[in-house]
Amino acid sequence: MQLFKNEKGNKDYTIIVGCGRLGANLANTISDEGRNVLIIDKNKDAFRKLSPSFGGISIIGDATDFDILQEAQIDNASVVVSVTDNDNINIMVALIARDLFQIKCVISRLQDPERECVYREFGIDTICPAVLSAKEINRILAEMSTSEAVSSEVDQ
């Protein structure tokens, strides 16, 4: 049985590992866009974060377990996103998806930017909230200082 039917034959099937705030948010967005999405989490209570209109599938289980990944039909997935709160689990899921199931597009969330070298070595795309936040704050600060400079120039 196939979990999702592909009308056009092209694969559009995203697996999200970890139903935290980020995972649930992403799953809701993809589902709202009318695309196929499956979300895995160890804890069944985590799925409460999904919106009532969520139209994807949820699986309770350990995503580092091959049986659970088979159940999620990872072979058919076009994208695997690992966003659990544990960096090491994210690394392992990403490596399993990439090297055992040949998933081309694998994205991981990374809390500790120091571990990035492991990902870089394996060519896995990472999102690091700490780095992103720092960049954004810096950008806002830079904007503020330029606008201050401009306004002080205007005052003169």
Partner 1 sequence: MNTKVLLVGGRSKAQSLAISLLKNGYHVTVINETYEDCLKLAEIDKLTVINGDGTRPFVLEDACASDADIAIALTLKDEDNLVICELCKKKFHVKKTVSLLTDPKKTAFFYKMGIDSVVCATTAITGIIEQQAFVDKIATLVPIGEGRINIAEVPILGTAPVVGKKLWEINLPKQVIVGCILRGDMTMVPRGDTRILAGDMLILISSDKQEVAAIRELTGR
Residue 64 near partner 1 by CB under 8 A: yes
Cα separation, 129 vs 108, in Å, equals: 11
What the block records as the tokens of 38 is 């499956």
Cα separation, 151 vs 156, in Å, equals: 9
* Residue type at position 119: Y
Q: Which of 29, 88, 145, 147 binds partner 1 (CB under 8 A)?
A: 88
Q: Which of 65, 125, 143, 148 binds partner 1 (CB under 8 A)?
A: 65
Residue 68 near partner 1 by CB under 8 A: no
Residue 57 near partner 1 by CB under 8 A: no
The site string for partner 1 over 96-135 (x = CB under 8 A, - otherwise) reads x--xx-----------x-xx-xx--x--------------
Q: Measuring CA to CA, how many Å separate 52 from each of 30, 32, 43, 47?
A: 14, 11, 18, 10
Where do contacts with partner 1 occur on this chain (CB under 8 A)?
64-67, 86-89, 91-92, 95-96, 99-100, 112, 114-115, 117-118, 121
